[in-house]
Structure 1
């Protein structure tokens, strides 16, 4: 899953894709680099002044429409606003990525009326609100319990089970030790039986662990993504798509989920060179 932000204040890209043309170009480039999915957002979850529905929609709806016109790739709208979610689905989005963890029950009604997938993310604070020094007795157990409750809530509000995806929310109202523990024990989140999304790319837990600035975290992000894949994640939300695709495709091949693109090394038999996997 490639991250495309139409925001001037995104923590990583710092507004490089705020312009519509730049966002369209980045989206299509990500697909060319190996992304299977584009996550398009117009408002961060991080503390700040909330956008109006109109402001957020103006940022992401034209982008969703244009990408959908040019590509058949999966598109999700990264939004916690039910009205923006509804507009996004009508514009061509296949999923809603709600980083607020179903803080507004109207979101469930929007999803239930469509066949769009619904990503439920663990967080403690309301969107755009600070939550200093979060504490947990057992971060993995508490995140798992939260997601289990939210799954039941969504289903009770009419969202089909098959449309639900879960995200433990690395770094969202969590410190570095919490995010490392979630990564180490991610299989306990996957044991809930729903597809797991891991959003680890260039996060602060990687920077603090390695002592790296935001533009120096690619290698750490790849390591975290591979660990999450091995621990049960099935969607990896990443910034640097080309290296991420290579790292994850190689991991999938090791696990037997993906065939090599070609076979030449030590494969020559009776004068015939095998050029591609059947």
Structure 2
């Protein structure tokens, strides 16, 4: 049985991931980090010209959203708000000018950075640190742009998880069929994302512009992240488009015993599973293979036709 399709995504009044013929497809979000220390070296684009080339390449390869980050997610040298704005905002303005059809997301937890990015043309605010600055979602609501609600288990920005625990799942609380003791993390994620999404809507963000992200690796160990992947369908039932940021992450590397530059096949396997179970947006370092994997899943789900079906037809 094919799981239900995920919720539609609309940013600034434009539905993303639906073709003119009505067919639905998952959405690729390409990554451009304006940093020198991101965990995956090929995604570091601190030089303006190289970053712009990466944006053009992502658009040509089929990405519909570009996610721009100015600060490494993990532990590293301090980057203040002013420096983050300097890294991100002029670049957003330039991408908006040169690639007007490419939707722009900015990965930040700071409301002052979010406000400047929106003024420069950003369409989506990717709040990876789960509302650490509660004013960020107010910026999104006031400007009519989208927002990503995430889950970190209470972790503070730029900290690594340490001996993370969640209360075991309980059938009495989680309902029949949810007695898996590992579902404690599922319950916590669903509760947190549900509350965050409701606040975003109350602040003025349209429900179809509120994305929910279980945020693999953040405030979680590898077992937690794997279990949340199994529970993608439950995340989709929240009624908002689900964002999956799986690309080359540590849970993939630890599962397979691989370093970041070897994690693409594992990432694509996780991507296909999440897409089958209703996730809608996929943040990736690798646009072409991710798009191809998602197109294959969409065809198997009967949401999009094959591009060139001729075998046995003549």
Residue 128 (1) aligns with residue 158 (2): yes
Gaps of 5+ in 2: 1-28, 168-183
Residue 238 (1) aligns with residue 284 (2): yes
Paired residue for 1:203?
Answer: 249
Paired residue for 1:272?
Answer: none
Deviates more, 1:181-190 or 1:144-153: 144-153
Residue 84 (1) aligns with residue 113 (2): yes
Does the residue aligned with 2:244 lie in a helix, a strand or coil?
strand
Paired residue for 1:95?
Answer: 124
RCO comparison, higher one (Cα < 8 Å, 6+): 2
Paired residue for 2:81?
Answer: 53
Q: CA deviation at 1:154?
A: 2.6
Name the CA distance, whole Å, in 2 between partners of 1:251 and 1:189: 18
> CA 1:238–1:263 in structure 2 vs 1: closer, same or farther (change >3 Å)?
same
Paired residue for 1:64?
Answer: 92
Does the residue aligned with 1:45 lie in a helix, a strand or coil?
coil
Paired residue for 1:176?
Answer: 222
Q: CA deviation at 1:252?
A: 0.9
Does the residue aligned with 1:101 lie in a helix, a strand or coil?
coil
Name the CA distance, whole Å, in 1 between partners of 2:199 and 2:308: 47
Name the CA distance, whole Å, in 2 between partners of 1:171 and 1:122: 10
Name the CA distance, whole Å, in 1 between partners of 2:201 and 2:291: 33
Does the residue aligned with 1:151 lie in a helix, a strand or coil?
helix
Q: CA deviation at 1:161?
A: 2.5
Q: CA deviation at 1:243?
A: 0.8
Identify the match of residue 200 of structure 2 among 154, 164, 184: 154
Gaps of 5+ in 1: 269-278
Can you list the C-alpha shifts for 1:89-116, whole angstroms capped at 9, x where unaligned? 1111110000111122211221111121
Paired residue for 2:26?
Answer: none
Whether the 8 Å contact between 2:111 and 2:139 is mirrored in structure 1 is: yes
Identify the match of residue 75 of structure 1 among 95, 104, 117: 104
> CA 1:108–1:16 in structure 2 vs 1: closer, same or farther (change >3 Å)?
closer
Paired residue for 1:26?
Answer: 54
Residue 107 (1) aligns with residue 136 (2): yes
Whether the 8 Å contact between 2:38 and 2:72 is mirrored in structure 1 is: yes
Q: CA deviation at 1:190?
A: 1.1
Structure 1 stretches of 4+ with a deviation exceeding 4 A read none
Q: Taking structure 1 as the reference length, what is the TM-score of the superposition?
A: 0.92
Name the CA distance, whole Å, in 2 between partners of 1:194 and 1:122: 15
Paired residue for 2:259?
Answer: 213
Aligned length: 268
Identify the match of residue 139 of structure 1 among 185, 188, 209: 185
Residue 116 (1) aligns with residue 162 (2): no
Can you list the C-alpha shifts for 1:206-256, whole angstroms capped at 9, x where unaligned? 111111111001100000011111112100111111111111111111112
Does the residue aligned with 1:57 lie in a helix, a strand or coil?
helix
Identify the match of residue 270 of structure 2 among 224, 229, 244: 224
Paired residue for 2:67?
Answer: 39
